[in-house]
Structure 1
Amino acid sequence: RDGKLTAFEYHGDFNTGAYASWGPTVADRVPIHCSGPYFVPSVLAETRALLTNESPSGAFRGFGVPQGAVAHEALMDELAEKTDIDPLEFRIRNALRKGDRTATGQLLENSVGQVECLEALQGRWRKWRADAEVFNQNSPHIRRGVGCGSVWYGCGNTSLSNPSTMKVGINAEGKITLYNGAMDIGQGANTIMIQICADALGLSATQFEFIMGDTDLTADAGKTSASRQAFVSGKAAQLAGEELRAQIIRLAEASENSNLRLEQTGTSDGGKLIIEDEAGRHEIILADILPLANGDVLIGEGTFDPPTTPLDENRQGSPYATYGFGAQIAEVEVDTLLGTTKVLRLAAAHDVGKAVNPTQVEGQIHGGIAQGLGMALMEEYIQGVSENLHDYLMPSVGDMPEIEVILIEDPEPLGPYGAKGIGEHALIPTAPAILGAIKHAAGVSINHLPATPDRLFAALQAADSE
């Protein structure tokens, strides 16, 4: 037995409530991801969005993939135990690699950093497991455990065109504006769009102004969902900057590797573009150019639509242009007398292609972990009971563990400077890692989320009575 997966069968029913809402979209994404970031030669997956008399279900970060990950990661732990292979090593043996094909038959040619993510956690995994074993030798009721979770997630809409268009312009006074239709909902899209466009143009990001989400001025950059904005709109921002740079170089009759500088006067006298190359210095007086739209005298525009293909009747095709990968390990402490769980520390390694802004990427991962912790231990909607946030528990600062983030950069050639999405990826492996840690600590599996004290206590009592 070499511990290699040979087949995977999945059946999932999703309660979409009284109206379809996002239910079919969720049910459509799950089969592609349900076998996890692992190479499986044979996959049979079936999902249904079921209409019920309950509240309509909306979109949740990960579109069904977090629920599927709970199942496939529990299976990975069970198979590792049955084959007597370390759980992390078992995942490494089966991880997707470049040159593998997915369940939909898509060839993974670039940016497949799953093995690197798992290997980055190996040292911590061994130490944390050893520490937990030592602790448990002298602690009969407070038990510690360490678990692992993995993720892969397609960036963008499933097998659908989802283009973004971005524009950048310079007016006569030397004001440079990025017209950004990509809505920033806290993830930092405004910052990285300017960073990407500034790099492509060759000017300082500090000189940029931006207009966001003004449909009279900004082009359609698509929705802020599906972990697509950094990858899709970021690429459009890069192309817009490159087009504007090409215009400037043509006007100045300068070389491709020229250095650009923008002098902003802020007056009607006009700003000035200075272009320097091996032939010398060139100047463009912006006030000498007739204005185009919105008072800008030079405008660059870029559009990017990631290449995908529809899935055929056997669900074969290339539903996403790229995938993000990652893995997390969590250490928990379980009070077996009370059924309570506290997450002590967590390490997360994620393949982001290229981190355009590492601080923001780490922030996204921290936020995903917080949401995953809530999913694992607290958050539960009960019809007729959870009527407000007083009765719906969510993590607070006191619930958060020590978090260590490791950024793995396996560049995606299609993305802006190699970048791809991270928005939903960070949430997905957190709950599986916590549930695996609970089983390692207390010896019981929780199959109904969240793992509240009453459920964990009941599982412990049932195990004791067997």
Structure 2
Amino acid sequence: MQETLYDELAGKLGMDRLDFRLKNCLRNGSETVTGQRLESGVGIFECLDSLRPHWARAKADADTFNNANTSKKRGVGIASCWYGCGNTSLPNPSTIRVGISPEGEVILHQGAVDIGQGSNTVIAQICADALDLPLEKFKLRSADTAISPDAGKTSASRQTFVTGKAAEKAGRALREKILRFANVSENASLQLDGPAIVIREGEATRRIDLAALDVDADGYVFRAEETYDPPTLPLDAKGQGKPYAVYGYGAQIAELEVDLKLGTVKLLKITAAHDVGKAINPLLVEGQIEGGIAQGIGMALMEEYIPGRTENLHDYLIPTIGDVPPIEHILIEVPDPEGPFGAKGLGEHVLIPTAPAILNAIRHATGVLITKVPATPARIRAAIREKDGIRDKEARR
């Protein structure tokens, strides 16, 4: 893995592993391997920099423990990530429709399927903020192709960014229609009061009786429908282009303890700093961080497909809550102008740094790098024995 190589390079240079990453990470103005210039919104430095005090404390704790113990050793590992939001170099549109009924309800039609990540909440929040009306006034019409426009698939960490941007555009468009109807400026405020919209600008107040207005074919007095498709460029024959419009960034520290005789790993803590551009719903962000880390733990320490053996969830081990250590979330907000209110995707990003951070921590604790995951006790113990055997041979020379 790339992040384990970074540790190796830092060691050969005699540099601190975090400092090495800070020195070499992407920044605004950096050019990627595809020739894409990242003009703004690059938050990986902020993620890594926020981990400085946690890194220093964790290393000091590990040193103190290791000086007092021989059969068990503690290690601290770090890893970082950047990951594109949305489909790679492909059309990726989402469409949102929002309308106001004669009864004074805001009806949000959005086809994004919520698979537990909270898109129903986040996309509604974005639209509500853009329209400048409270979330409790909204009614959701979701994930039904008969009544909702296409919001694309729930994959590629795209819903908050792509469908959220369509929701922002639709909310702003609906607000503009209402303000234009009332002949007021964009500085006016809106308020729903039963079957009426109250519009205030300065000391002037105007009340629009919704029930007195004509409705369209869908039963709405005011409506807007907007589509957003991220501006990307396909990769050419040389792999050059703009595969993503927005990237998310993150970094994690893993603290663990290894029993040198048994090869077992006990996770002590994971500290995760992720740049989400704008945390539309901080609680849901924390939930996604915890879920991604749990998956990363499975990849690093437990999950392995062995044909004929691990073909069911009895034999194929996945993490339970008992396998997940305390997690500290650090929400970094470096806005990207392309995202809704500056927001970026997060779904898949969190999984990326967890396994390499754990492997780097195992190497820090034991002096051996596990190159095949999961890092089972048998593999860790075999690597330690091999290292000790090499040392014994060298000592006898």
Q: TM-score, normalization: structure 1?
A: 0.83
Q: Deviations over 1:199-240 (max 9, x none)?
A: 111110011110111101110111111111101100100111
Q: Equivalent residue for 1:257?
A: 187
**Alignment pair present for 1:357 and 2:281:** yes
Give the Cα–Cα distance (whole angstroms) in 1 for the partners of residues 260 and 63 of structure 2: 16
Q: Structure 1 residue 391 and structure 2 residue 315: aligned?
A: yes
Matched, 1:371 2:299: no
Question: In the alignment, what sits opposite 2:269?
Answer: 345
Q: Report what 2:393 is aligned to.
A: none
Matching residue within 121, 125, 136 for 2:66: 136
CA distance in 1, matches of 2:202, 2:16: 59
Q: How does 1:97-246 map to 2 (within 5 A)?
A: 97-246=27-176
Is the 1:181–1:220 contact (alpha carbons within 8 Å) kept by the matching residues of 2?
A: yes
Give the Cα–Cα distance (whole angstroms) in 2 for the partners of residues 445 and 291 of structure 1.
67
Partner residue of 1:44?
A: none
Match of 1:328 in 2: 252
Deviation at 1:263, TM superposition (A): 1.8
CA distance in 1, matches of 2:382, 2:25: 35
SS in structure 2 opposite 1:218?
A: coil
CA–CA distance in structure 2, aligned partners of residues 199 and 138 of structure 1: 55
- Cα deviation, residue 279, structure 1: 5.7
> Matched residues in 1 for 2:320 and 2:122: separation?
28
What is the CA deviation profile of residues 100-126 of structure 1, one whole-angstrom value per residue up to 9, with x for unaligned ones? 100001000111011111110011111
How many angstroms apart in 2 are the aligned matches of 1:288 and 1:94? 63
CA distance in 2: counterparts of 1:408 and 1:193, whole angstroms: 20
The aligned amino acid for 1:322 is V
Aligned partner of 1:404 in structure 2 is: 328
| Structure 1 runs not aligned, ≥5 long | 1-70, 265-270
Q: How many corresponding residue pairs? A: 390
Q: CA deviation at 1:293?
A: 3.4
**What is the one-letter code of the residue matched to 1:418?**
G
Q: Which of 199, 207, 210 pairs up with 1:286?
A: 210
Shift of 1:394: 0.9
Letter in 1 for 2:142: M
> Unpaired segments of 5 or more residues in structure 2?
391-397
SS of the residue 2:338 aligns to:
coil
Offset at residue 157 of structure 1 (A): 0.5
Quote how far apart the aligned CAs of 1:294 are. 2.6
Partner of 1:88: 18
1:464 matched to 2:388 = yes
Match of 1:443 among 367, 374, 383: 367
Q: What CA distance in whole angstroms lies between the structure 2 residues aligned with 1:123 and 1:349? A: 12
8 A Cα contact 1:166 1:221, kept in partner: yes
Tell me the CA shift for residue 302 of structure 1: 1.6
Structure 1 CA distance, aligned partners of 2:329 and 2:116? 19
Q: Distance in 1 between matches of 2:20 and 2:132?
A: 46
Distance, in Å, in 2 between the alignment partners of 1:456 and 1:205 is: 51
Measure the CA separation in 1 of the matches of 2:242 and 2:106.
38
1:382 to 288, 292, 306: 306
Q: Distance in 1 between matches of 2:214 and 2:12?
A: 74
Question: Which residue identity lines up with residue 18 of structure 2 in the other structure?
Answer: L
The Cα of 1:378 is off from its aligned counterpart by 0.3
Partner SS state of residue 293, structure 1: coil
State percent identity of aligned pairs. 58
Q: Is the 8 A contact 1:230 1:421 kept in 2?
A: yes
Deviations 1:52-80 (A, max 9, x none): xxxxxxxxxxxxxxxxxxx1001100000
CA shift at 1:190, angstroms?
A: 0.6
**Correspondence for 1:277 among 197, 201, 214:** 201
Contact kept, 8 Å, 1:446 with 1:459, in 2: the verdict is: yes
What is the aligned-residue RMSD (CA, Å)?
0.9
Q: Among residues 217, 220, 237, which one is paired with 1:296 in the alignment?
A: 220
TM-score normalised by the chain length of structure 2: 0.97
